[in-house]
């Protein structure tokens, strides 16, 4: 009820200003423009989503919410110019009002676009809309995630070897380009069926990646000393807010291998403090 009241207040404000606002169905995730009040598929009341037109930048039609994270929301979309399905990540206002951040965002998007590898989700385009949102357009991968597969139970050694072999190939290519992912986890590993009938692993979401550049120590979308990543898969130095490098990604992969084979995580700790204590005890014991 409270969320409904908040949505109605926001809707009244938006309609009063006469601005565009993307809406989404909280039930099925489908996207609509501001002219409707209910989902045309299931009748659920629509929720305001982002301050943009559904046809983003006059080119990308946002169709369905795929997921949310700390850096924004990912949508399945149609590139109406090239008539192909894409994934669009919107980064909300707050960051985009900072010109320096937008310059970094553009530089890093161009760096990602140069990562042309079969085990990495391709980056096609980027932009910003009226200082409200920045967006990144990526390859759309139909399939499942490593998280979904692990949740079904332990993965056979043969299958795990094939999947993680591909993951290592993709990570090796990123590292060779000077990019450390920093948030490798089962949710960011997509599993798609390839044309030859096999399965292709695709690494997604370089949203908090760190770029090791020739002209500076590093470039990142996050502030120095900020702890970023997913608690259960972070290396000890990452948990401590210290500098990370390629070894941090390898640590995350090791955690995922253990979880994939056993169905359990190798380390305890339900929160940041507990995990730090576990890591500290492990380091002292070695």
What CA–CA distance (Å, rounded) separates 235 from 182? Answer: 9
DSSP 27-76: TT-BEE-TT-SB-TTT-PBPEEEESS-SEETTTEEEEEEEEEETTEEEEE
pLDDT at 277: 56
- How far apart are the C-alpha atoms of 133 and 139, rounded to whole Å? 20
Domain map (residue ranges) of the chain: 2-139, 144-285
pLDDT of residue 146: 97
Q: How far apart are CA 202 and CA 209, in angstroms?
A: 16
pLDDT of residue 280: 52
Yes or no: domain 2-139 corresponds to CATH 3.30.70.270: no
- Give pLDDT, residue 127: 92
Give the residue numbers marked as catalytic: 183
Tell me the CA distances in angstroms from 240 to 51, 149, 234, one per residue in order.
36, 30, 10
Q: Tokens for 96?
A: 């985009």
DSSP run (H or E) holding 125: strand 123-129
Q: Are 88 and 77 in contact (CB under 8 A)?
A: yes
Options 1.10.510.10, 3.20.20.60, 2.30.42.10, 3.30.1310.10; CATH for 144-285 is 1.10.510.10
Residue with tokens 């948030």: 183
Residues in the chain, overall count = 286
Could you tell me the mean pLDDT of each successive run of 10 residues in the chain, 286 residues long? Answer: 50 54 93 90 90 93 88 92 96 71 84 92 91 89 95 96 98 93 93 87 76 40 49 88 90 97 84 54 48
């Amino acid at each position: 009820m409270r969320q409904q009241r908040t949505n109605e207040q926001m809707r009244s404000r938006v309609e009063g200003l006469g601005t565009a606002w993307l809406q989404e169905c909280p039930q099925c995730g489908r996207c609509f423009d501001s002219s409707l009040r209910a989902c045309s598929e299931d009748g659920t009341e629509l929720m305001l989503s982002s301050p943009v037109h559904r046809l983003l930048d006059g080119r990308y039609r946002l169709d369905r919410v795929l997921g949310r994270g700390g850096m924004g929301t990912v949508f399945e979309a149609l590139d109406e110019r090239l008539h192909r399905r894409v994934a669009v990540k919107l980064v909300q206002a707050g960051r985009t009002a900072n010109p320096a951040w937008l310059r970094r965002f553009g530089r890093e998007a161009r760096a990602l676009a140069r990562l042309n590898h079969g085990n990495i989700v391709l980056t096609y385009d980027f932009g910003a809309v009226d200082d409200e949102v920045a967006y990144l357009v990526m390859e759309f991968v139909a399939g499942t995630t490593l998280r979904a597969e692990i949740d079904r139970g332990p993965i056979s050694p043969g299958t795990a070897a094939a999947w993680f072999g591909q993951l290592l190939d993709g990570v090796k290519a990123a590292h060779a380009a000077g990019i450390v992912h920093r948030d490798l986890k089962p949710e960011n590993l997509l599993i798609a069926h390839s044309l030859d009938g096999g399965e292709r692993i695709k690494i997604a979401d370089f949203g908090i990646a760190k770029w090791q550049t020739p002209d500076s120590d590093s470039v990142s979308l996050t502030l120095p000393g900020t702890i970023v990543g997913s608690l259960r898969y972070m290396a000890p130095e990452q948990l401590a807010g210290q500098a990370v490098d390629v070894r941090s990604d390898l640590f995350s992969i090791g955690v995922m291998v253990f979880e994939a084979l056993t169905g359990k995580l190798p380390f305890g700790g339900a929160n940041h403090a507990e995990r730090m204590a576990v890591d500290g005890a492990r380091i002292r014991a070695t």
